[in-house]
């Protein structure tokens, strides 16, 4: 699932789909953490997943606010049209 | 029976992830993402992390994806142009991505096993929290709350600050953009 999210981040041009693939990668890491915490018979992995979910939710909120501000400025969300930093 | 459920839910999660990445439509991708999150929550239930499964459905599939759908609705995304990158950097990055996928599959499916960790009885060792071996696994949410308030107190408080900063940041960013118009 991590590799699928990685390919999604690289290959898609829509910023929103980029963001969703990022969330997919975080989700894959959560799954791996919970599986390993169950395997090692410890609760630490579950707690870390709790924190990861919280941080990811905060990151999504801020990132989407940035995308909305970007859209208001440039009127597009396609990554190849956001070319203001290119030389 | 548990094996069958595991295969079914992991196939659903992977399939929905693929649909999300490959779908040229953003709304269809968001729907597939919700399916993937719910399937991952089912996998959490299979791994006896019940509290995390509910939190996953509530926070991820509930709040985060609804936020995504709102933003997709607000921003008009035209579907007619090509949704993927096909230039030189895109092909190089796609090759790297496929190498990553192949290496993870090869390492994950190889026959070398992880060493089994030594199991300790909790009853013979009442001093579990102060040891560095970690908190023993239970499926109740009471131990979750207990460890949050004893061992993980500092990250707990820091995440509270982080949420406050994120809220302030979102409000400031939205306000400043509105004054430009």
Residue B97 within a domain: no
Q: Is B173 an 8 Å CB contact of chain A?
A: yes
Q: Note the pLDDT of residue B130.
A: 43
Residue A87 within a domain: no
Task: Indicate which CATH number applies to the domain containing A57.
Answer: 1.10.287.3510
Whether residue B177 contacts residue A68, with contact meaning beta carbons closer than 8 Å, is answered with yes
Question: Which of A33-47, A71-85, B31-45 is predicted least confidently?
Answer: A71-85
Q: Is B66 an 8 Å CB contact of chain A?
A: no
Has this prediction a pTM greater than 0.80? no
pLDDT in tens, B129-168: 444 456 666 666 777 777 777 778 888 889 999 999 998 9
From the number of C-beta atoms within 10 Å of its C-beta (0-12, 13-18, 19+), residue A11 rates as: buried
Q: Is A35 an 8 Å CB contact of chain B?
A: yes
Tokens found for residue B147: 């460890």
Residue A86 within a domain: no
The ipTM, to two decimals, is 0.79
Cβ count near B24 (within 10 Å): 16
The verdict on B72 and B144 lying in the same domain is: no
How many structural domains comprise chain A? 1
Q: Note the pLDDT of residue B78.
A: 59
The ranges of chain B with pLDDT < 50 are 80, 120-132, 177, 181
* Domain extent for B1: 1-77
Contact criterion met (CB < 8 Å) for A47 and B13: no
Q: What is the mean pLDDT of residues A34-45?
A: 77
């Amino acid at each position: 699932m991590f590799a699928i999210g990685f390919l999604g981040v690289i290959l898609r041009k829509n910023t929103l789909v980029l963001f969703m693939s990022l969330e997919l990668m975080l989700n894959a890491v959560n799954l791996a953490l919970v599986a390993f915490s169950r395997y090692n018979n410890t609760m630490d992995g579950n707690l870390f997943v709790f924190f990861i979910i919280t941080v990811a939710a905060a990151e999504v909120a801020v990132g989407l606010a940035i995308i909305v501000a970007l859209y208001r400025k440039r009127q597009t969300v396609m990554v190849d049209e956001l070319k203001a930093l290119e030389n | 029976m548990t094996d069958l459920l595991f295969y079914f839910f992991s196939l659903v999660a992977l399939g929905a992830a693929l649909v999300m990445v490959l779908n040229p439509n953003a709304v269809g991708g968001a729907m597939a993402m919700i399916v993937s999150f719910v399937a991952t929550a089912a996998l959490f239930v299979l791994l006896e992390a019940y509290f995390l499964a509910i939190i996953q459905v509530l926070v991820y599939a509930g709040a985060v994806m609804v936020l995504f759908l709102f933003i997709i609705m607000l921003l008009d995304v035209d579907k007619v142009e090509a949704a993927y990158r096909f230039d030189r950097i895109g092909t190089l990055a796609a090759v790297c991505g496929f190498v990553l996928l192949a290496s993870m599959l090869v390492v994950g499916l190889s026959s070398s096993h992880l060493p089994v960790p030594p199991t300790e009885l909790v009853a013979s060792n009442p001093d579990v929290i102060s040891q560095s071996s970690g908190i023993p696994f239970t499926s109740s949410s009471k131990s979750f709350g207990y460890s949050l308030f004893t061992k993980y107190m500092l990250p707990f408080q820091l995440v509270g600050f982080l949420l406050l900063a994120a809220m302030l940041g979102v409000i400031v960013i939205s306000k400043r953009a509105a004054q430009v118009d």
